[in-house]
Amino acid sequence: MPRKSRDEDPKFQQSLADDRLFVGTVFRNPPPGFLYDLALKEGYAGRKCAIASNGALIAYSGAKTGRSPKDKRLVQEPSSQDDINWGDINIPIGEDAFQRNLDMAIGFLNGRQSLFVIDGFAGWRGANRIKVRVVCARPYHAMFMTNMLIRPTDEELANFGEPDWVIYNAGQCPADSHIKGVTSKASVDINLKSRQMVILGTEYAGCMKKGVFTILNYLLPKQGILSMHCSANEAIDTGEVALFFGLSGTGKTTLSADPDRRLIGDDEHGWDDHGVFNIEGGCYAKTINLSAEKEPEIYQAIRFGTVLENVVYDPLTHEVDYDDDTITQNTRASYPIEFMPTAKVPCTGTHPNHIVFLTCDAYGVLPPISKLTPEQAMYHFISGYTAKVAGTEVGVTEPQATFSACFGEAFMVWHPTVYAKLLKEKIERHQASCWLINTGWTGGAHGTGTRIKLAYTRAMVTAALSGSLNKFPYQTDAVFGLSYPTHVPNVPRELLNPEASWADPAAYRQTAEKLAGLFIKNFDQYRDQADADVLSAEPVLNRQPV
């Protein structure tokens, strides 16, 4: 059992915050069975961890069942302040305030009887990887980051040395809103200068994962490497790589889990001069409405060693009810990528041949599949559109457009155009085809139309990646100027033309122009830094169909 006290491990003593951590028992990189044992003894907020009938560890994150984007802070200091796109996403906090939060976290961790230390890597390409150390008090958090970081070999662990970054997770300890820059009981702070991250007041494990991603979203572009919020897979026979960009709920994880392709990764990647590489060592899949029929690969990956987060289960059989959203709709499973039967390890690939942007259009006006020009690709990448459906939040009675630049604005540090220019350069150099796929509604908006079947979306993705769509004619829609094929194997023809799928063409046109206006309004914030060719891809109101 990898268990050492501070006095027995001088390397650990030297690694943490000027020797201020003095907990007697430290569990370094313990195995899953040991973490299960401690987690099952841990009661929290009226809920106890449990073992699901499939062997996964069921854990609960308390009041916070999702990220707290309004509580994320970046330290404003001279070495990085001119690089950061400050605003509602990257909110500044002072160095003194960060130090007070760090002191509070260390004080809390010092009050524990024992701590967990997880060492791992972020980035599968050796030259670009960073060494990350996580210090936490909950076995569930230790298990989560064991899955999500790239697990070192025994030799790598023996020679791990000092980490590049340290995450201090004191999520059980509320933040102090009297500290300048702290506005709630939660504060998630990243200091690019000291290479430290502090978590207070939230026990949602995803904050650690996305914190690492935020760090690399700063570091990689400085090296000319594009960091991407996307999944990636490759063809088994040719090795051709496809990237899938998309916000939560658009199908990024589901569509990349293709039994006929190898999975490189489900969420975070880099693209350098050699090709693409996964940043993570695991997957973090949404499990709401998960079934063996619709998503067999993900369903089978949930077993011993997986963390099931905030799910509901039968207390007698311990079978998980994946349809139950009593606790949250954001139920999740965290597992090592090797648990996916189609995983490619090491998780790297060649330069992408296809780039797919996924959107769940609840307005029901975008074509189910469109082939994008390079200019359109940049426009839609910077826009990062999807839509919330009515009923998912209080007061939402009709579809609401959501725009998140680069399909991951919450984690981007530089201005979105920095990432867009890197993507454009790489697309042009490697001649990648770009596609926009709508996994949302057709025949009307949410409440009137129907959700596009997953089987049809899979068929469209397969046709696009195989090159078979090159032999069919295309039409152009009347508002967005998007070219869509008139035929896709195994997909009804009437589905492909969004206007024809509506019973009322006038209602379609009115809704399409409404959404187009939202695109135009959203892009106003980037207009002064966007190239003229990108602006030429903007929707045109009152455009005549082609």
11 within some domain: yes
201 within some domain: yes
- Predicted confidence band of residue 529 (pLDDT cuts 50, 70, 90): confident
SS3 at position 324: coil
Question: What was the pLDDT predicted at 22?
Answer: 82
Which of 171, 187, 222 is the last residue in one of the domains? Answer: 222
| CATH number of 144's domain | 3.40.449.10
Hey, which bits of 318-440 come out as E strands? 320-321, 332-336, 348-349, 352-359, 369-372, 385-388, 400-403, 433-438
Distance CA 301, CA 146 (A): 16
Is 129 considered catalytic here? no
> Do 525 and 382 sit in the same domain of this protein?
yes
Distance CA 58, CA 52 (A): 6
Mean per-residue pLDDT for 525-544?
Answer: 86
Residue in 39, 305, 21 with CA at minimum distance from that of residue 169: 21
Contact status, residue 239 vs residue 465, Cβ threshold 8 Å? no
500-521 pLDDT, tens per residue? 999 999 999 999 999 999 999 9
35 within some domain: no
454 within some domain: yes
**Catalytic member of 25, 53, 238, 248:** 248
**Catalytic member of 229, 371, 426, 446:** 229
Residue 94 has pLDDT above 50, yes or no: yes
Q: Which residues pair with 116 in a beta bridge?
A: 27, 136
> Do 217 and 355 sit in the same domain of this protein?
no
Secondary structure of the chain: what % helix, strand, coil (to 5)?
30, 25, 45
**Catalytic member of 28, 129, 151, 210:** 210
| CATH number of 502's domain | 3.90.228.20
Please state, as a whole number, how many other Cβ atoms lie within 10 Å of the Cβ of residue 475.
Answer: 17
> Do 516 and 377 sit in the same domain of this protein?
yes
105 within some domain: yes
Which of 175, 197, 222 is the last residue in one of the domains? Answer: 222
Contact status, residue 356 vs residue 437, Cβ threshold 8 Å? yes
Amino acid at site 382: I
48 within some domain: no
**Catalytic member of 28, 64, 332, 344:** 332
Is 248 considered catalytic here? yes
Please state, as a whole number, how many other Cβ atoms lie within 10 Å of the Cβ of residue 180.
Answer: 11
> Do 79 and 217 sit in the same domain of this protein?
yes
Residue 17 has pLDDT above 50, yes or no: no
> Do 12 and 160 sit in the same domain of this protein?
yes
Please state, as a whole number, how many other Cβ atoms lie within 10 Å of the Cβ of residue 82.
Answer: 6
**Catalytic member of 67, 72, 131, 151:** 67
> Do 527 and 382 sit in the same domain of this protein?
yes
- Predicted confidence band of residue 23 (pLDDT cuts 50, 70, 90): confident
Is 344 considered catalytic here? no
Is 67 considered catalytic here? yes
Amino acid at site 499: E
Q: Which residues pair with 114 in a beta bridge?
A: 25
Q: Indicate the helix (H) or strand (E) that contains 537.
A: none
184-219 pLDDT, tens per residue? 999 999 999 999 999 999 999 999 999 999 999 999
Question: What was the pLDDT predicted at 4?
Answer: 45
Is 328 considered catalytic here? no
Question: What was the pLDDT predicted at 455?
Answer: 94
Q: How far apart are the first and last CA of the chain?
A: 68
Spell out a b/e string for 163-178, using b for 16 or more CB atoms within 10 Å of the CB, else e: bebbbbbbbbbbbeee
Place of tokens 């690399």: 216
Mean per-residue pLDDT for 293-307?
Answer: 96
Question: What was the pLDDT predicted at 386?
Answer: 94
- Predicted confidence band of residue 389 (pLDDT cuts 50, 70, 90): low
Distance CA 385, CA 247 (A): 8
Q: Are strands 441-442 and 320-321 parallel, antiparallel or unpaired?
A: unpaired
Q: Indicate the helix (H) or strand (E) that contains 145.
A: helix 139-148
Residue 543 has pLDDT above 80, yes or no: no
Question: Residue 104 is part of which domain span?
Answer: 3-30+71-222
Distance CA 199, CA 354 (A): 37
* Averaged confidence pLDDT in the chain: 92
Residue 121 has pLDDT above 90, yes or no: yes
Which of 222, 256, 288 is the last residue in one of the domains? Answer: 222
Q: Residue 309 gets which letter from DSSP?
A: E
376 within some domain: yes
Question: What was the pLDDT predicted at 391?
Answer: 41
Contact status, residue 414 vs residue 221, Cβ threshold 8 Å? yes
417-448 pLDDT, tens per residue? 999 999 999 999 999 999 999 999 999 998 89
**Catalytic member of 15, 65, 202, 253:** 253
Question: What was the pLDDT predicted at 288?
Answer: 94
| Helix residue ranges per DSSP H, 387-504 | 416-430, 454-466, 493-496, 498-501
445-497 pLDDT, tens per residue? 988 999 999 999 999 999 999 999 999 999 999 899 999 999 999 999 999 99
Residue 294 has pLDDT above 70, yes or no: yes
**Catalytic member of 72, 129, 252, 262:** 252
> Do 360 and 213 sit in the same domain of this protein?
no
Question: What was the pLDDT predicted at 394?
Answer: 42
* Number of domains making up the chain: 2
Cβ burial, residue 210 (10 Å; 0-12/13-18/19+): buried
Contact status, residue 243 vs residue 355, Cβ threshold 8 Å? yes
Is 252 considered catalytic here? yes
Residue 15 has pLDDT above 50, yes or no: no
SS3 at position 406: helix
- Predicted confidence band of residue 545 (pLDDT cuts 50, 70, 90): low
Q: Which residues pair with 44 in a beta bridge?
A: 47
520 within some domain: yes
